Amino acid sequence: MAVERILVVDDEEPIREVVCSMLENSGYECVQACSGKDALERLHQDSNFQLVLSDLMMPELDGVGLLENVRRTHKELPVVMVTAVHDISVALAAIRNGAYDYLLKPFEREQLLAVVRRALETHRLRVENMRYQSNLEALVDQRTRQLRETIAQLENAYDVTLEALGDALDLKDAETEGHSKRVMAFTIHIARFMGMDEAAIRVVARGAFLHDIGKMAIPDAVLLKPAKLSPDEKVLMKEHPYLGYKMLHKIPYLGESAEIVYAHQEFYDGSGYPRGLKGEEIPLGARIFAVADTLDAITSDRPYRKARSVEVAREEIKTWSGRQFDPKVVEVFLAIDPQDWERLHRETITPKEHFSYSLRSLEPGK
């Protein structure tokens, strides 16, 4: 067991010698300092002390000054003040300022040892508590890192599943193959320029990618019908936002994204479907998606027409601002370099890359 070390501070050498003799005979190790200034130098050179036993009245730096310095640099180190009877009010003030205890001169050996034992026990408990807190913080940090890694692994697994769902929809509706990936890329790009944080962007990205997932519940005879849909078939087709919402909203990590799926056919002026939402009743992610979706629809080939330019899409979206589209989203969209859309349209990017935490590939200006 390590010997407990005590720094004994007094400007009178005979007193230091007597105090150290009492303590050393009881198994403690003592180091002497002749002033408060000398004590600070020794603490600076060697901080391995468990207690400071200091006289109150000393030249250069008195016991109160020493106490103030110790409290700043060695917060866990207890200080016991030694004083004459006429200094008792000063000693009590030192207690209020952080001294552990005080001894009145002259004192008996047992008085000294009793105070020292109590102070050292306090120091031991403080150190153990600090060690416990440090270990606890390290354990919490470790568990937090492990939890984050697990969540990241789960999200990656989820996103692989989402990609498979999107691919399944593409196989069913080959007419719009790749549409979900492109519209997700466009949606993310606008969301970034609107200042959305990455957590919100991940929600929007998933909603954009899965916006047509409800079409998987539409009969092929309706979904793939080459001729014009009948009124009843149009009603059935218009159910796909709600069907998609029903498929997704009970999945915990897709709950917010499901709201975007539900609202992705709503118009800003309230003339959309299925609920006729208007203005800010429509989730922001769905309002952003609406612009991105129209951009992709105009700039992509369709069986009934060839793709048109980004500039045509910009003019069309500008024309419908305030009716189909949120004017604030349109304003942000029009401020983005048109070449960004051409680049994103050319690139083939999987949902996993878009759902990553950094989303570096879609940072503005890249």
Give me the active site residues, please.
215
CA dist 171 to 174, 224, 244, 258, 302, Å? 6, 12, 17, 22, 16
**Nearest Cα residue to 365 out of 337, 332, 345, 326:** 337
Residue 351 contacts residue 181 (beta carbons within 8 Å): yes
**Nearest Cα residue to 26 out of 109, 105, 120:** 109
Residue labelled with tokens 């769902």: 165
Residue labelled with tokens 């929809």: 169
55 SS3 class: strand
5 SS3 class: strand
**Nearest Cα residue to 211 out of 294, 298, 281, 270:** 294
Q: How far apart are the C-alpha atoms of 270 and 313, rounded to whole Å?
A: 22
Q: What is the DSSP string of 163-204?
A: HHHHHHHHHH-GGGTTHHHHHHHHHHHHHHHTT--HHHHHHH
> One-letter amino acid identity for 228?
K
**In the sheet that 51-55 helps form, which strands lie side by side, from edge to edge?**
29-33, 5-9, 51-55, 79-83, 101-104
